[in-house]
Amino acid sequence: MRHNIFDSIPSNIVSSKDNVFANFLQTAGLYDSMKIDEDNIAYLIELLKGNVKISAYCKECKQERVFYMKPIEYYFETGPDGNEEIRCASLGEKIESLQNMIFSTKSRQEKSPAEEWKWINWQIADTTRLMKLEYICSMDEKHHLDYIVLTTDNSMMKIGQYPSIADMTFPELDAYKHVISKEDRKELGTAIGLFANGVGAGSYVYLRRILERLVYKAKEAAADVIDNEMFEQARVAEKIKMLEGYLPDILVKNTTIYGILSKGIHELSEEECRKYFPVVKECIYQILGMWESERRKQADEDALSKALSSISSSIK
Ligand SMILES: [Zn+2]
């Protein structure tokens, strides 16, 4: 299901639609990072506890499945000498109790001078530095989707994922095979592959080029409705505005997209390119999705009129 592309990230989180960390795992390219702060720590705790299910393509099942995560555990020693007993506890719960007892605004204010907010303390720093988040397919526990994250101070960087973003995204493209040109399909694959490997500007250049070609294709459909000269001179964002009725409404009516697209590629930083990539990719999917549904509607109508004409000739 695709909803608002400007939710910035596809909303396919099953049990917790708005979990920012689950979204990050699913959509960020390698070496992208996000801040851990007081406002989002609750989401991270839920994720580490294994309470956030995600919906993703399973390479083994060859279709979209619900995945659940193995809660992360950590080990600690008890006893005065530190070696009496080794016990295991839930990392999510440990972070939750640290937040409630030490790092909450209230607890910090009680101390003087107020301590800086942190998401962990030294006790678990070793466990949280490098974490593997193991998602398991709900149809078969041998089907995995693994993420590796590195945390430094108050930020989290995605440094590993298997199957790769490219492996998981290519099957999505099959849905549009009737309406995408060979050239666009190939370059979209290249763009996704580059993005999956942490290449920002390189992947974004391909994506912009594909979007521009799709916009020109829509212009062909609009034919003489739009002034050619004005169209040629306009920037891509303006071109989209002119093509109202020929491109999905969500693109034409949303001003955020103009902000993103009106920046030339040379004006963008590597990080901005990586940030905009999922949104621009979604724009491309929206256009292809619109054309695919029009194509299907036409095919259904053709089939119906063929069936009707064969009946009409037999009841004469
Ligand atoms: Zn599976």
Structure tokens at 99: 């937040």
State the DSSP H helix or E strand holding residue 158, giving kind and residue range, or none if neither. strand 155-162
Is the separation of the CB atoms in 139 and 58 below 8 Å? yes
The predicted model scores a pTM of 0.69
Phi-psi category of 287—alpha, beta or left, where left has phi over 0 and alpha has psi -120 to 50? alpha
Q: How far is the centre of ligand 1, averaged over its atoms, from the C-alpha of 107 (Å)?
A: 44
> Could you identify the residue written with the tokens 């949303």?
254
pLDDT digits 0-9 by tens, 14-70: 454 579 999 999 988 888 899 999 999 999 999 999 999 999 989 999 888 999 999
pLDDT digits 0-9 by tens, 198-217: 888 999 999 999 999 999 99
pLDDT digits 0-9 by tens, 89-133: 899 999 999 988 877 777 777 776 667 888 998 888 989 999 999
Contacts of residue 256, defined as CB under 8 A and 6 or more positions apart, other chains included, come to 6
Neighbours of ion ligand 1 (CB under 5 A): 58, 60-61, 65, 137, 139-140, 143
| Cα dist from 20 to 16, 46, 56, 302, whole Å | 9, 11, 16, 45
Contacts of residue 111, defined as CB under 8 A and 6 or more positions apart, other chains included, come to none
> Could you identify the residue written with the tokens 């083994």?
60
Taking the C-alpha atoms of residue 54 and residue 136, their distance in angstroms, rounded to an integer, is: 10
Q: How far is the centre of ligand 1, averaged over its atoms, from the C-alpha of 98 (Å)?
A: 36
Taking the C-alpha atoms of residue 92 and residue 103, their distance in angstroms, rounded to an integer, is: 15
Q: What is the SS3 assignment for 154?
A: coil
Q: How far is the centre of ligand 1, averaged over its atoms, from the C-alpha of 59 (Å)?
A: 7
Residues in the chain: 316
Q: How far is the centre of ligand 1, averaged over its atoms, from the C-alpha of 29 (Å)?
A: 23
Q: How far is the centre of ligand 1, averaged over its atoms, from the C-alpha of 63 (Å)?
A: 8
